[in-house]
Amino acid sequence: MAADERRKAGKFFREIKAEMKKVTWPTRNDLLAYTEVVLVVVIAFTLLIFLADSAFSYLLKLIIKS
């Protein structure tokens, strides 16, 4: 690795470190609340997809039997 590439890599990682210090990290309570919202939405969509799949399967079985 050339000296110029090492210098660029070092600068890159220093800039990453500086940017990470600017990040506002969520509190534990915020993180738990966001996780709860994600789980509720995932469960709701799972149920919706299950119901739609069941309905389409039932309709397909009716069509095939005809």
Residue partners of 13: CB distance under 8 A and separation at least 6: none
Report CA torsion sign: 4, 9, 13, 18: positive
CA angle 33, 34, 39 (to 5 degrees): 100
Q: Output the six-digit token pair for 10.
A: 């070092």
Q: What is the mean pLDDT of the chain?
A: 95
pLDDT at 29: 98
pLDDT level of residue 1 (50, 70, 90 thresholds): low
The pTM assigned to this predicted structure is: 0.63
Report CA torsion sign: 30, 31, 32, 35: positive
Residue 27 DSSP SS3: coil
What would the pLDDT profile of 36-45 be if each residue is shown by its tens digit?
Answer: 999 999 999 9
